[in-house]
Amino acid sequence: MSQTGQSYTFAGQLLTCPICKQSSFEQESTLLHHEEDAQTPTDTYLCTICGYMLWFSPAEVDAPGQAYLLLNRPLQCAMCAHTLFHSSEILLNTRTAIFMQFNWATHHALNYICAHCGFIKWFFTEEVARPGKTYHVAHRQLTCQSCTRIAFRERETLLSSKSPTFPEADWTDQSTKNYICTTCGSIHWFVS
């Protein structure tokens, strides 16, 4: 990872990576794809130290939200500690599914978007209760940012840039590594 980045402020607080505890990020805009072909613009902040991605949806800020439970505890925003969210399902594209035009084979993730700061929490419940492994990122054992467990499953997902692409060429977009908690399904995004 490049170690040059900028610091950013959200909800009046310095944005800090929950993995390596540093505040050096590169900012990009991406699109989230919904099943009904709708797209939501988002801002991603890539930690230049460990590669962890933080996702924000500014369009969802200050709209009324609702409380949700995670493992029988109130879901709480990791950035601002707010407890009201909006939810939606987002497609998790893979290079093969896009290239072969197998959109029906694309999995869905559940998103909870903080109604206060726009931070997006991702969940992929298909991996819950499956055997997992422990991983190390930036010389630290990866711990789930939602439930503090340490067993994960690994998968790859494509990012969709806001830049125009040639028709049917989305399979060439950058891919990310996902570590999915096998206890709660929380997705942790990394770019190497």
Query: What confidence tens digit (pLDDT) does each residue in 60-100 have?
Result: 787 789 999 988 999 999 888 899 999 888 776 544 443 33
The whole-angstrom separation of Cα 56 and Cα 77 is: 11
Residue 156: predicted pLDDT: 85
Alpha-helix residue ranges (DSSP H) falling in the chain: 95-99
Q: How confident is the model over 162-176, as a mean pLDDT?
A: 48
**Structural domain boundaries in the chain:** 9-190
The whole-angstrom separation of Cα 185 and Cα 3 is: 30
Q: Helix (H, G, I), strand (E, B), or coil: what is residue 128?
A: coil
Structure tokens at 152: 């994960």
Q: 39 or 19, which is more confident?
A: 19
| Complete DSSP assignment for 113-134 | EETTT-BEEEE-GGGTTS--B-
Nearest to 191 by CA among 42, 26, 5: 26
The whole-angstrom separation of Cα 164 and Cα 126 is: 32
Cα Rg of the chain, angstroms: 16
Among residues of the chain, what percentage have pLDDT more than 70? 78
- Report yes or no on whether pTM surpasses 0.85: no
Q: Helix (H, G, I), strand (E, B), or coil: what is residue 172?
A: helix
Residue 170: predicted pLDDT: 42
* Measured torsion, CA atoms of residues 158, 50, 24, 15, in degrees rounded to the nearest 10: 80
Contact between 180 and 127 under an 8 Å Cβ cutoff? The reply is yes
Q: Is the pLDDT of residue 154 over 90?
A: yes
The mean predicted confidence, pLDDT, of the chain is: 80
The model's pLDDT over 27-52, given as tens digits with 9 standing for 90+, comes to: 988 776 655 556 777 888 999 999 99
At residue 104 the predicted structure's pLDDT band, cuts being 50, 70 and 90, is very low
Q: 17 or 89, which is more confident?
A: 17
Look up residue 97 and give its amino acid: A
Residue 106: predicted pLDDT: 57
First to last CA, the chain: 7
